[in-house]
Structure 1
Amino acid sequence: MAIHALTMLARWSDRSLTSAEIAESLASNPVLVRRILGSLRNAGLVFSTEGRGGGWSLARAPREITLHAAYAAVEEGRILSRHAHPPSEACEVGRNICALLETEFREAEQAMEERLGRTTIADLLRQILTIEREYAPANR
């Protein structure tokens, strides 16, 4: 949802968008959208203005906002969950599984962070506009 909202803000960067406009595209609730936008604001990715014509805008250029930055702004903690409580030391699986999975999960999370760090909101917008130009007129 955060990446969707950021991409909308990039697409219509000539004006601010309201949380209701973004929520409509997300088929979601404006209250939930405002919560997500608040997290993006706290991360320095968006800002809001009040009053007539107010709404939300990008705080940085779309080429400066990676998918990882958006993800990190709205998600807390590790991507892959670990054991909620320590397994049994009496079991050979229990004694070893946490350390083994920690290595696997850490490498997987690092790979995801690196991959999301290579794609920007500008990249997504460029792809969306290309798709719209090439395919949408034939389907309308």
Structure 2
Amino acid sequence: MSANSRLTIAAHALAWIGLYQRQGHEVATSEQIAASVNTNPVVIRRLLGELRRAGLVESRRGVGAGWSLARDLASTTLLDVYEAVEPGPLFAMHRTTPDQGCVVGHGIQPAMRNVYEGIEKTLRHELSLVTLENVLQDVLATPH
């Protein structure tokens, strides 16, 4: 299984847009953001669409088209971003019900559900403590 990078790419895009706007630009194109992320602009557009639905970015069409922040970086947490791009739970149960006649098959889901709920609660708490402003400041403090 590969790790999911959607939160990282979304945080990257939002921090990039925020810095770009601070440099005096009104909107950023998906092509510009994709160049920084080193991915296809279509990937960025899809992700930005999810962020727009969550109220984190706005888009402008036509002449001067592009993306801008709908909220300040300091008022946007990684939890906000996570909830916008990760609609489901972090972990899932079996796709089919395990054998309920088996002691492990019968008890595995309740046991794992308790573990997963604790992990999800901790994850959400930690993400709520970090704003995109914090992320951008850490990025800018990293030696090039």
Please state whether the residue corresponding to 1:12 is helix, strand or coil: helix
Tell me what 1:116 maps to: 127
16, 19, 24: which one aligns with 1:11: 19
Tell me what 1:26 maps to: 37
The CA deviation at 1:44 is: 0.2
Please state whether the residue corresponding to 1:78 is helix, strand or coil: coil
Aligned identity (percent) is 37
Tell me what 2:100 maps to: 89
Runs of at least 4 residues off by over 3 Å: none
Q: Counterpart of 1:121 in structure 2: which amino acid?
A: L
Q: Counterpart of 1:55 in structure 2: which amino acid?
A: G
117, 127, 133: which one aligns with 1:106: 117
Please state whether the residue corresponding to 1:57 is helix, strand or coil: strand
In structure 1, runs of 5+ residues without a counterpart are none
Q: Counterpart of 1:63 in structure 2: which amino acid?
A: A
Please state whether the residue corresponding to 1:48 is helix, strand or coil: strand
Q: Counterpart of 1:7 in structure 2: which amino acid?
A: A
Aligned alpha-carbon RMSD (Å): 1.1
TM-score by length of 2: 0.88
Tell me what 2:3 maps to: none
Tell me what 1:42 maps to: 53
Tell me what 2:72 maps to: 61
Within 2, Cα distance between the matches of 1:101 and 1:6?
Answer: 34
Within 1, Cα distance between the matches of 2:101 and 2:83?
Answer: 38
Deviations 1:43-101 (A, max 9, x none): 00000122333311110010111111111111121111211111111111111110010
In structure 2, runs of 5+ residues without a counterpart are 1-8
Within 2, Cα distance between the matches of 1:54 and 1:126?
Answer: 27
The CA deviation at 1:36 is: 0.5
TM-score by length of 1: 0.90
Q: Counterpart of 1:10 in structure 2: which amino acid?
A: G
Please state whether the residue corresponding to 2:100 is helix, strand or coil: coil
Aligned length: 133
